[in-house]
Structure 1
């Protein structure tokens, strides 16, 4: 459909140009044909320039574009035309070892070969997803010692086999902007040296650290804006005092070890979002000072306190991502009462079979006073059964400011018959907001909370 639409648009432009007495614009190709010869990037003729406008960009801009591509795709740009051959070797290196096509025992040599052959600075280094032996870790450390990575901005140490954080990462203390640490041991003596003044994003995954060291690590990152703590053992309480932190994401599931069960936001004037992603894992969140706190991702096990009041009195929350075990209209109405300025609502639930979401008599009096300000709503795992239909029709018939509702369906059979039946069941012709758009999709995501938090 998109290709047909583009063709129709081009035809209309040509007709309009002909009517006005102007020549019709020539179509522009999406990419240069690799088999068009050894001509330099701009081409010698007018037609060639139309076909390859991307190559007419300066080297500096092309280098930035190539550095954003995955390693394999970035290297392949060398085969396009001679104009591109030198670019990948001189652009900032984006080396993601997780996507290299080789066996695991060939990987160390390949990493060294790429780094040694590259003439540009190293910007991003992501280690292999699985490090099978200590020798693999030694190979990664040897890469980190390379002069080519001296100005590294993004480092992801994946699957570090619970080994201590290597001391050599501190050589990047003045340059790192993004740092991911996975399956690593973070002893107090090492964390004491943790000082990365430019670091903006810190991700701690499946690692062990003491509560004191966790706070020391955060304090050592004065520019930190995004913090992820996923399934780390050791700390029980996280206290946030930061002038620049904007987003916190927590997954606090651990097996047989102390887990994070409390977050206290003491002073965070720039904090905008907080996500708790583990259902059935209790987390107590106390908010003392966070005037810009607008986005909350929570589960049925998240207990939120603003000041001294339990989940009451917050007029700053405008976006809510809620994971619940079963779809419950009662729970959602309770949330709208607690967050009276709510505009965006994302719901993920496993089932709706146990709940009765019939609402017409039950909430007849409430609807006279309840101010529903929702503009955007997304429901994952919509089944089309009666509890789901009753839940959705509540908002179809009563949300007067609704702009968009997306229903992520548990089937791939979204055809015209399915859509016609849902249109009738949900009474879309009677919608309270005449401009509201309704979308059905079979798109699946493991946790859209993760997507929102990043």
Structure 2
């Protein structure tokens, strides 16, 4: 991922620029091809899971003709290995599966890999019409030659996908292409896209496998009006001024390692009026500015991209703004997002936050225009060895008066500056600590003095605080320092939770239950709107009870 971080310092407008940039880095490590060969599997791993997992290589035991002959129905079921899936029930010799209704049989077919689902047509005359009546699923991971590696030659894979789409009357439920190189297969790629558009494809994952890198995305993809979900990887995005997008039903869009101009993103947001989730993973924007202006977007995710600025200009429905940033320092501007509830991870070293046109600085007097009253969950990365970053924490709390869950990730750093003695003791409270903050989640704490002082500040001022979650691996060490007594069996060592029984009177004198917790943060959780908090998951297999003693130490 170091290449993506370094790309922040370069102007990358084409994949030729990317390749040249990687080659110039070859003296420092792998070649351009090796870097891309490492990046592509990584970004594919970020994708939502396939509808049907790929079969094991041992299952690929068919000849080439059987593998790709998707329309033949003349074979005998007794000669076809697929028939083994539908053996008669043992004991009475009756075929009970064929007695099921067509709807149930279609459901069975929809759960089979691409090849096996098509070959059910040869089982009997009744089965012959079921596959064409079942919405089509195609995954190039299911289309392999026996004895070969998972990487299928581009010609054969493109031919198989084309024939599969052509043989089915539609509609196409989903197509996932992540292992196919379309080099010298531009015509086949155009045919595939045209066929999918004609048969109302709903879900499309389309990746190009290098080399060469500089493959233009077929503009026909932008005219698949039936698409509800679209993920694109390793493409040069077409000029939307010449090819206007027509994606009226698109709700989820992901751009992975894609080169796209800022104007093309603006055009997509303007034309995709049902879009709810927009995500970028290791993509290159020209000129590195993401402007969010959409009346429908609920979530925006930036994952390790080369961006210089993120501007939330006008997003009345935006509820989540999530990023896992690397590289150079960048500006995050939030102008109009009245429903924003989840924000993070804000990295205090990489991000300069601006709310309502006001740059947020440590120790500033926070005015109403610099607040986000809708925010409920906030995640921040902070170096407790850095005085400026430590002083930003109480300032940020004043910016989010209705905050309910606070995530703080402690990042190791050299002690460049020293936080003045008595800093936390001198601070007053704020709206969120007095009335709203219920959960504090501490990631990667290292038992530093400033970390413990911060924790003590939240425990003292948090009048509504009910849960403190410590997500770390050395739970024994932390408990040994914080408590008089450590249980003999600590249980899972991913973290623990402190739960208080009463919401009033601060944390002093309240009972606390302690149980494990684990980190949850990932790209797939970030884009999943059903996940309430994408940053952590609590676990309650083991529970302890703790309380505050008179000398303010925890006792289990």
Q: Under a length normalisation based on structure 1, what TM-score does the superposition of the two structures give?
A: 0.69
Q: Indicate conservation of the 8 Å contact 2:469/2:498, yes or no.
A: no
Contact 1:240 1:267 in 2 (8 A): yes
Residues 1:401 and 2:464 are matched in the alignment: yes
Matched, 1:237 2:289: yes
Q: How many Å separate the matches in 1 of 2:87 and 2:445?
A: 46
**Secondary structure at the counterpart of residue 164 of structure 1:** coil
Instruction: Give me the whole-angstrom Cα distance separating, in 1, the residues matched to 2:88 and 2:466.
Output: 48
In 2: Cα distance, 1:64 partner to 1:149 partner: 24
Change in Cα spacing, 1:306 to 1:234, as seen in structure 2 (3 Å) is: same
CA contact (8 A) 1:179 1:203 kept: yes
1:319 has 2:377 as partner: yes
1:94 to 137, 161, 177: 137
Deviation readout 1:59-103 (Å, 9 max, x if unpaired): 658857975x68479959x8xxx9999877743233333566644
Q: Is the CA contact (8 Å cut-off) linking 1:155 and 1:180 kept in structure 2? A: yes
User: 2:328 maps to what in 1?
Assistant: 281
Secondary structure of residue in 1 paired with 2:425: coil
Please say if residues 269 and 293 of structure 2, whose CA atoms lie closer than 8 Å, have aligned partners that are also in contact: no
Contact kept in structure 1, 2:115 and 2:142, CA below 8 Å: no
After superposition, the C-alpha distances for 1:256-313 in whole angstroms (9 at most, x for unaligned) are xxxx322333322212121232144333233332211222122222222222322432
Q: Which moved more, 1:146-155 or 1:263-272?
A: 146-155
Shift of 1:163: 1.2
For the 8 Å contact 1:74–1:88, the answer to whether it is kept is no
Question: 2:407, 2:223 → 1: CA distance?
Answer: 42
Q: Is the 8 A contact 1:358 1:391 kept in 2?
A: no
Q: 1:288 to 1:361 in 2, by over 3 A?
A: closer
Q: Select which of 484, 490, 493 maps to 1:419.
A: 490
Deviation at 1:229, TM superposition (A): 3.1
- TM (normalized to structure 2)? 0.58
Q: Give the distance between the partners of 1:322 and 1:437, measured in 2 at CA.
A: 25
Query: Counterpart in 2 of 1:197?
Result: 248
Alignment of 1:242-261 (within 5 A): 242-251=294-303, 253-254=305-306, 260-261=307-308
Counterpart contact for 1:396–1:426, Cα < 8 Å: no
Q: CA deviation at 1:405?
A: 3.8
SS at match of 1:163: coil
2:174 aligns with 124
Higher relative contact order (CA 8 A, sep 6+): 2
Matches within 5 A, 1:77-116: 90-98=133-141, 102-105=150-153, 107-108=157-158, 110-112=160-162, 115=165
SS in 2 for 1:419: coil
CA distance 1:308–1:121, change in 2 (3 Å) = closer
> Is the 2:381–2:410 Cα contact (8 Å) retained in structure 1?
yes
Report the aligned-residue RMSD: 4.9
Q: Indicate the residue corresponding to 2:483 in structure 1.
A: none
Match of 1:293 among 330, 334, 340: 340
SS at match of 1:290: coil
Q: What corresponds to 1:183 in structure 2?
A: 234
SS in 2 for 1:333: helix
Aligned to 2:399: 338
Aligned to 2:516, what secondary structure does the other structure show? strand
Partner of 1:25: none
Contact 2:424 2:457 in 1 (8 A): no
Where structure 2 has 5 or more consecutive residues not aligned to the other structure, the ranges are 1-85, 145-149, 361-369, 478-485, 529-556
SS at match of 1:401: coil
Q: Structure 2: how far apart are the matches of 1:111 and 1:237? A: 36
How far apart are the structure 2 equivalents of 1:154 and 1:421?
39
Structure 1 residues 396 and 350: alpha-carbon distance in aligned structure 2, compared to 1, 3 A threshold: same
Query: Structure 1 unaligned runs (5+)?
Result: 1-32, 44-54, 255-259
Aligned twin of 2:96: 40
2:453 paired with 1:377:
no
- The Cα of 1:249 is off from its aligned counterpart by 2.0
Shift, 1:355, TM fit? 9.3
Give aligned pairs, total: 399
- Distance in 2 (CA, whole Å) between partners of 1:426 and 1:387 is 20
Kindly indicate whether the alpha-carbon contact (under 8 Å) linking 1:329 and 1:357 is maintained by their aligned counterparts in 2.
no
Q: What corresponds to 2:6 in structure 1?
A: none
Show CA shifts across 1:231-270 (max 9, x none).
Answer: 223134333332212222234643xxxxx32233332221
1:158 is matched with: 207
Matched with 1:209 is: 260
Which of 198, 211, 226 is the matching residue for 2:277? 226
Residue in 2 that maps onto 1:49:
none
| Aligned-partner Cα distance in 1 for 2:143–2:476 | 36
Q: Report the alpha carbon displacement of residue 149 of structure 1 after superposing the two structures with TM.
A: 6.7
Could you tell me whether the CA contact under 8 Å between 1:407 and 1:439 is conserved in 2?
no
CA contact (8 A) 2:468 2:498 kept: no
Deviations 1:45-71 (A, max 9, x none): xxxxxxxxxx8xx7658857975x684
CA, structure 1 residues 75+293, in 2 after alignment: closer, same or farther (shift >3 Å)? same
**Cα distance, 1:347 vs. partner?**
3.2
Alpha-carbon offset, residue 316 of structure 1? 2.0
Is the contact made by 2:233 and 2:258 (CA closer than 8 Å) also made in structure 1?
yes
